[in-house]
């Protein structure tokens, strides 16, 4: 049996095993510690008991939640969270520790975080992982929070808390330790922008050909990075700096925390530019969007529920394109108050709130979301290209730059589709195939397409009587056979059901109509080596791996990669045959268990 040694979570195919290295276990955090008890208290009297894993001091602020699955080092250092107690809805936090918070890149910007310090007032999670494991980690989340004197609680029912925030909108709260009473504090009553802005001018990308003034209302380092990478010499100035008489090629207004109306000096400085005859492009993000709206003469308002997370859908009003975006804001522009020479550029597909505006004649546009998302979706990074194209004179107007034609292929004309099921599965054996197959059937029914389900898991929601009636699927409890199946349907979904569609490649490749994900894409994602090669082609960083065929060659490869390594057998559902190997002896044991000769 062949093996593959890999310092990542990718699995092998074709009967191979996968070895994964790069796991880092912290000896200082591997044992449980008795934690101080403390409470989250909401202004309506709700009290949730928790346990401290941060600084043991009471604090207060606005309680908000973020739905992102990763990126807590970036979120905690985002200045837009200033004055807020952040709730992370992902159930387990701290498992990958904290990377270096001081390491800088070639531009002098922080590589792994968005600002010099943690910006939140407090942190709330359901479960805290005292054991962290990541090749890039240098400390635990608890250690970092204590260093920066930020209180944090785990053991909080974050689901209940999130529902409370969703229903009530703005919620003030406090993390309170025994004998440390603290008053409720609404951070939105003070100018938070002044707290997080630089005090004097800083220059990044010195010597680049295009001079961009960046107004720091709480700027994230990755915004500066995107500008510098595209040829901008970024002059970062304080939030209230008057740049109206300066010479520059472009003006950038950054993100920031709190109520934009309290940063009125920034509004007045921007209004001088908007009311002048200057033709230099202007680009605003998040707080920059709101400040631009106020400077134009529009109004802003506090959202009943802020948009925060990495999964917010936004629609481009010019092209009709839809993007998944990262967001963090509690205020929005009132579109109805926009003057005649301003149009809405983006809207939120969920709550229909404004997500960006544009001037009808001048090269001025904004985005409420974060195109520089780090971490998060990168769907809208092109907005930095749009801005710099305007700065460089490659595009003459926002409409010209933003009106990208969308090529939507016509939907396939099919009436009957096969969904290849997951086959028989036991508990713990990749049940997501059962779920995704059910969702595929549901979606097809909504499109009035007849569904044929073959080779399903017979003890599943795909085939139970109630589910079958609701979804209207024709169920065949037989293995899939190409000759038979082609006679009864004219399309195939192969990306939603099977545990391994590669088992049927010969038949699939000869099928006339394949709907959904292209076969080549599925092959690339199923074959772990091909997937790794594809990532290398686009410059993505991946952990090293080595394919081997014997235990001895595995041992040799492990020496090159470095212990510990993880071995994983292909075609082993539920993780069977995998194991963490801290030394040569353990590697031999695990390799022999998965029948690697």
Contacts by residues 565-568 (CB-CB < 8 Å, ≥ 24 positions apart): 565/5, 565/7, 565/19, 565/20, 565/21, 566/18, 566/19, 566/20, 566/21, 566/23, 567/3, 567/17, 567/18, 567/19, 567/20, 567/591, 567/594, 568/11, 568/12, 568/17, 568/18, 568/19, 568/20
CA–CA distance, 78 with 101 (Å, rounded to integer): 13
- Whether residue 564 has a cis bond before it, omega within 30° of 0: yes
User: Do residues 516 and 497 touch, judged by C-beta distance below 8 A?
Assistant: no
- Using only the alpha carbons of the chain, give its radius of gyration: 27
Would you state the structure tokens that stand for residue 415, as one six-digit string? Answer: 């009436």
CB-based burial of residue 468 (10 Å sphere; 0-12 exposed, 13-18 middle, 19+ buried)?
middle
- Whether residue 375 has a cis bond before it, omega within 30° of 0: yes
Would you state the structure tokens that stand for residue 546, as one six-digit string? Answer: 């080595």
* Candidate list 17, 286, 581, 596, residue with the active-site label: 286
User: Do residues 406 and 320 touch, judged by C-beta distance below 8 A?
Assistant: yes
Is 286 a known active-site residue? yes
State which H helix or E strand residue 329 sits in: strand 322-334
Count Cβ neighbours within 10 Å for each residue of 312-338 and write b for 16 or more, e otherwise.
bebbbbbeebebbbbbbbbbbbebeeb
Task: Give the β-pairing of 84-88 and 59-66.
Answer: parallel
Would you state the structure tokens that stand for residue 325, as one six-digit string? Answer: 């975006």
Indicate the angle between helix axes 221-229 and 382-392, nearest 10 degrees. Answer: 50
**Helical segments of 368-464, H only:** 382-392, 398-402, 432-446
- Give, in order, the Cα–Cα distances in Å from 251 to each of 16, 213, 232, 273: 54, 5, 11, 10
- Give, in order, the Cα–Cα distances in Å from 575 to each of 315, 553, 578, 579: 40, 23, 6, 9
Catalytic residues: 286
């Amino acid at each position: 049996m062949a093996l593959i040694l890999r310092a990542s979570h990718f699995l092998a195919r074709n009967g191979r095993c996968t070895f994964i290295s790069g796991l880092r276990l912290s000896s200082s955090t591997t044992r449980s510690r008795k934690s101080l008890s403390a409470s989250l208290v909401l202004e309506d009297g709700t009290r949730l008991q928790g346990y401290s894993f941060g600084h043991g001091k009471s604090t207060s602020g606005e309680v908000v939640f973020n739905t992102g699955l990763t990126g807590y080092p970036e979120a905690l250092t985002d200045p837009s969270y200033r004055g807020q107690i952040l709730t992370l809805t992902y159930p387990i936090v701290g498992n990958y520790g904290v990377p270096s918070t001081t390491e800088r890149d070639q531009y002098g910007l922080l590589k792994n975080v968005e600002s010099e310090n943690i910006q939140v007032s407090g942190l709330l999670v359901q479960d805290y992982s005292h054991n962290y494991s990541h090749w890039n980690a240098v400390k635990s989340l608890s250690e970092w929070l204590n260093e920066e004197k930020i209180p944090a609680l785990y053991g909080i029912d974050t689901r209940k808390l999130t529902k409370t925030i969703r229903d009530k909108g703005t919620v003030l709260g406090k993390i309170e330790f025994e004998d440390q009473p603290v008053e409720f504090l609404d951070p939105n009553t003070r100018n938070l922008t002044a707290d997080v802005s630089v005090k004097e001018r800083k220059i990044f990308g010195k010597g680049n050909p295009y001079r961009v003034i960046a107004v720091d209302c709480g700027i994230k380092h990755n915004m500066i990075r995107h500008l510098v990478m595209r040829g901008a010499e970024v002059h970062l100035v304080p939030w209230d700096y008057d740049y109206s008489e300066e010479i520059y090629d472009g003006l950038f207004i950054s993100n920031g925390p709190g109520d934009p109306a309290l940063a009125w000096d920034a509004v007045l400085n921007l209004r001088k530019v908007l009311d002048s005859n200057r033709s230099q492009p202007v680009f605003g993000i998040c707080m920059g969007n709101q400040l631009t709206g106020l400077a134009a003469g529009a109004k802003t308002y506090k959202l009943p529920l802020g948009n925060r997370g990495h999964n917010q859908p936004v629609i481009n009003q010019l092209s009709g394109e839809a993007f998944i975006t990262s967001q963090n804001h509690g205020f929005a522009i009132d579109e109805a108050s926009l003057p005649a020479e301003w149009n809405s550029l983006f809207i939120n597909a969920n709550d229909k709130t404004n997500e960006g505006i544009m001037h009808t004649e001048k090269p001025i546009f904004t985005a409420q979301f974060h195109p520089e998302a780090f971490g998060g979706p990168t769907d809208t990074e092109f907005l930095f290209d749009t801005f710099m194209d305007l700065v460089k004179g490659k595009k003459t107007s926002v409409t010209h730059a933003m009106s990208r034609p969308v090529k939507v292929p016509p939907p396939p004309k099919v009436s009957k589709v096969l969904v290849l099921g997951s086959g028989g599965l036991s508990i713990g054996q990749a049940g997501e195939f059962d779920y995704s197959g059910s969702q595929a059937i549901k979606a097809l029914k909504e499109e009035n397409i007849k569904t044929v389900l073959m080779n399903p898991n017979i003890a599943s929601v795909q085939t139970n009587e109630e589910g079958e009636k609701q979804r209207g699927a024709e169920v065949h409890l037989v293995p899939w056979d190409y000759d038979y199946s082609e006679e009864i349907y004219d399309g195939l979904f192969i990306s939603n059901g099977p545990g391994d569609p590669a088992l049927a490649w010969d038949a699939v490749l000869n099928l006339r109509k394949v709907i959904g994900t292209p076969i080549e894409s599925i092959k690339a994602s199923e074959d772990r080596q091909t997937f790794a090669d594809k990532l290398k082609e686009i410059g993505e960083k991946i952990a090293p791996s080595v394919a081997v065929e014997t235990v001895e060659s595995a041992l040799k490869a492990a020496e090159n990669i470095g212990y510990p390594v993880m071995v994983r057998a292909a075609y082993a559902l539920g993780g069977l045959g995998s194991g963490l190997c801290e030394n040569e002896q353990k590697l031999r044991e695990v390799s022999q268990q998965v029948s690697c000769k």
